[in-house]
A and B are shown apart, each in its own frame.
Chain A
Amino acid sequence: MTYTLFIILLPLISFLVLGIAGKWFSHKTAGWIGTLALAGVTVLSYYAAYEYFFVIGRDAVTGAFERQVPINFCWLPFFDQGLHFDMGILLDPISVMMLIVISTVSFMVHIYSFGYMKGEKGFQRYYAFLSLFTMSMLGLVVATNIFQMYLFWELVGVSSYLLIGFYYTSPAAIAASKKAFIVTRFADLFFLIGILIYGFYTGSFAFVFDTPEGLASYAQAGFILPLALTLMFIGGAGKSAMFPLHIWLPDAMEGPTPVSALIHAATMVVAGVFQVARLFPLWVTYAQDWMPIIIWVGVFTAFYAAAVACAQSDIKRVLAFSTISQIAFMMVALGVCTELQTGHEHVGSVGYMASMFHLFTHAMFKACLFLGAGCIIHAVHSNEMNAMGGLRKYLPLTHITFLVSCLAISGIPFFSGFSSKDEIITACMAYSPAVGYIMTGIAAMTAFYMFRLYYGIFWGTENKELHAAHHPHETKVMTWPLIILSIITVGVGAYTTLAGFGMFDGYSFGSLISADGQDYRIHFDTSVALTSTIVAICAIGLATWIFKGERQPIADKLYATFPRLHRWAYKRFYMDEVYQFVTHKIIFACVSKPIAWFDRHVVDGFFNFLAWGTNATSNGIKTLQSGRVQQYALVYLVGTILLIAMLLIF
């Protein structure tokens, strides 16, 4: 399957071509180059997935999908302990699934951007960066070892930086891009340290290490390996915007909306989840005691983000917080997974599958939501909800796809989000009912704030003057991706719901991806499914009751009753201010400035003092050399007298 190399090379070439020669291309040519490259990638990815799952298929002996490593070479040798930095392509169920997700969403975004970015200055640059990002993200998911993952991890960080800062004339975009890069890089530092520890103790950077010597060194390492994994998790948490490293993601919405859809909803932000999933065998085998860290970070983030999302007025921010919350769901699902072996008697292993499943479905419907939001913003030229309202008349297609995605994320049966979220809650319930109920509650909050958003945009009070000025309308090239993504959402949802309720016995997501690669048929736990559905419907009903009308007396009353709560949630519980304080007031003002001062005045001052001392001394000595003959003679005489006196005395 060496051809998979082209999955990475195509966008790389497209990036280089557009990056170097872009300014001599017309917008259209540049867009076509990027899109065609991505079309190629998509075709190759789908073919690779087909070949991997259905041509090569399960191993006859183990009954699992085996890892395929079509390419692997030593990129940079390290010379101690035989460590080496490899580059290659690793295909296993999750990387193949990621290939599908990335190429699909990226392709959709490429098409969509034709419309959204039309006439923007720097159109070529935009497509170049998209290609760069796609390349890096694909490289990340097919990484054969943790170091390659880190390499592409950094690259996605940079491309995210470049894309968030695409509108580089806007101060907000500059600040947001800077923040995104620095926060994630700070997290990456821990990732790197984790890699260093891991590499040293296991003598390898490989993901799975099952030779006897490797096991021996794991055993020796004691708490070291969990420590390494946890450090790597911090890196993942940074990329995946887990609390308290989430602060960059809402700001990252300053980038063009298709970018938000691609990077900050569907692909890059799930890199952390992907990383934990990638290292999952290690986590389960060697660091099970440390896994509650993942769970509780996830649970708290999910709750926090959902709470904040309820109060935001910028539609992209609502979606951003919803993304954070949903990724936290995936994290929690991984955290509650306690065993590798699958099968219906092994409920502990459902989480892994559920997490990956949710990753997949979430990528699709969240991309759809973001692209829909992009259409809306494109139409009304504003991100604020109060500029919208009643848009369903103007943007019918967007309205329908948005509704579909909202239903999906809320967890309504027959939409994809239902199946995956249901599995997550099942997994949580199996781990601990407490976690399960908390997650159900958060799922309800999700439904609530999503429908608050939905009604705020498409129903509710219409901002008539604004709409009259802009004539909101849809563009065909921008609606096609929406339609495709919602078809996937509905299709996957309907299929898996029916299969899950046992209507027919076919393949389901678990058949392709499960913790140990065995075939796992999803069957819903009826009580869980029912509970969560009812809860979701209630939440939607509540949202409808509060927000659907032209006037919203209840909402206003609520704001009036809990002004402080609303304000805190709106200000995201002042996390940004805390960061601002720590970075500017503590690190800059109390560390960097003093160091710079110290350098200029103490260290440099010391050398200047040396120079001054030398100068002063020589100035002092210089006056002795006055050039006055008479003074010399006098001194000479005095010396002579002294000498003679000494001779006389002694």
Chain B
Amino acid sequence: MNITIDYFLILSAVMLGAGMYGFFTRRNTLAILISIELILNAADINFAAFNRLCQTGIEGYVFTLFSIAISAAETAIAIAVMINIYRMLKNNYVDELDTLKW
């Protein structure tokens, strides 16, 4: 059995599916963020795998690096926002955060 790119892609598809499911069903904002991390990771794996198995050069590699950096930044900000929201509204469930709605 030879592991080709397909296996990586299927794995990342599973991760993506799981992430999406979590994103749709979770109510806690932090849980949603976790799901987003899953999705990002799936993408990262794809970058790395494509770069390694289908290509010469290092673009995918570098992109993965950037992706990790950006997701770190994103998480930091998101968590800061959520803590702030929690502090103000004592709540972090997405369906109840509707103060600014309409």
Touch between chains A and B, by CB atoms below 8 Å:
yes
A residues contacting B by CB (< 8 A) are: 622, 627-630, 633-634, 637
Cβ–Cβ < 8 Å partners of B94 in chain A: 628-630
Cβ–Cβ < 8 Å partners of B26 in chain A: 630
Residues from 1 to 42 in B contacting A, C-beta threshold 8 Å:
20, 23-26, 32
Cβ–Cβ < 8 Å partners of A633 in chain B: 20, 23-24
Cβ–Cβ < 8 Å partners of B32 in chain A: 629-630
Q: Give the one of A622, A630, A637 with max B CB within 10 A.
A: A630
Are A634 and B102 touching (Cβ within 8 A)? no
Are B20 and A628 touching (Cβ within 8 A)? no
Nearest neighbor of A633 in chain B, beta-carbon distance? B23
Are A627 and B98 touching (Cβ within 8 A)? yes
A579-B52 Cα distance, complex, nearest whole Å: 105
Cβ–Cβ < 8 Å partners of A627 in chain B: 98, 101-102
Are B95 and A637 touching (Cβ within 8 A)? no
Q: Find A628's partner among B25, B95, B102 (CB 8 Å cutoff).
A: B95
Nearest neighbor of A631 in chain B, beta-carbon distance? B24
Residues from 63 to 78 in B contacting A, C-beta threshold 8 Å:
none
Closest 5 CB pairs of A and B: A627-B101, A630-B24, A634-B24, A633-B23, A627-B98
| Given A633-B24, A637-B20, 17 additional A-B pairs, CB 8 A | A622-B102, A627-B98, A627-B101, A627-B102, A628-B94, A628-B95, A629-B32, A629-B94, A630-B23, A630-B24, A630-B25, A630-B26, A630-B32, A630-B94, A633-B20, A633-B23, A634-B24
Cβ–Cβ < 8 Å partners of B20 in chain A: 633, 637
Give the size range of B's interface with the partner.
10 to 19
Cβ–Cβ < 8 Å partners of A630 in chain B: 23-26, 32, 94
A242-B43 Cα distance, complex, nearest whole Å: 102
B51 to chain A, nearest CB (A): 24
Majority SS at the chain A contact face? helix
Nearest neighbor of A627 in chain B, beta-carbon distance? B101
B80 to chain A, nearest CB (A): 18
Cβ–Cβ < 8 Å partners of B24 in chain A: 630, 633-634
19 of the cross-chain contacts (CB-CB < 8 Å) are: A622-B102, A627-B98, A627-B101, A627-B102, A628-B94, A628-B95, A629-B32, A629-B94, A630-B23, A630-B24, A630-B25, A630-B26, A630-B32, A630-B94, A633-B20, A633-B23, A633-B24, A634-B24, A637-B20
Cβ–Cβ < 8 Å partners of A634 in chain B: 24
Nearest neighbor of A637 in chain B, beta-carbon distance? B20
A227-B54 Cα distance, complex, nearest whole Å: 106
Cβ–Cβ < 8 Å partners of A637 in chain B: 20
**Binary per-residue interface labels of chain B (71-102) against chain A in the complex, 1 for a CB within 8 Å, 0 otherwise:** 00000000000000000000000110010011
Nearest neighbor of B20 in chain A, beta-carbon distance? A637
A628-B101 Cα distance, complex, nearest whole Å: 10
Cβ–Cβ < 8 Å partners of B95 in chain A: 628
A628-B25 Cα distance, complex, nearest whole Å: 12
A633-B95 Cα distance, complex, nearest whole Å: 14
A205 to chain B, nearest CB (A): 68
A634-B95 Cα distance, complex, nearest whole Å: 15
A648 to chain B, nearest CB (A): 15
A625 to chain B, nearest CB (A): 8
Cβ–Cβ < 8 Å partners of B98 in chain A: 627
A627-B96 Cα distance, complex, nearest whole Å: 11
A195-B25 Cα distance, complex, nearest whole Å: 84
B52 to chain A, nearest CB (A): 26
Nearest neighbor of A630 in chain B, beta-carbon distance? B24
B46 to chain A, nearest CB (A): 17
Q: Give the one of A622, A627, A637 with max B CB within 10 A.
A: A627
Cβ–Cβ < 8 Å partners of A628 in chain B: 94-95
A633 to chain B, nearest CB (A): 6
A134 to chain B, nearest CB (A): 72
A628-B32 Cα distance, complex, nearest whole Å: 12
A630-B32 Cα distance, complex, nearest whole Å: 9
A630-B36 Cα distance, complex, nearest whole Å: 12
Nearest neighbor of A634 in chain B, beta-carbon distance? B24
Cβ–Cβ < 8 Å partners of B23 in chain A: 630, 633
A629-B25 Cα distance, complex, nearest whole Å: 11
A195-B101 Cα distance, complex, nearest whole Å: 69
B78 to chain A, nearest CB (A): 12
Q: Give the one of B20, B25, B32, B95 with max A CB within 10 A.
A: B95
A637-B95 Cα distance, complex, nearest whole Å: 19
A634-B25 Cα distance, complex, nearest whole Å: 10
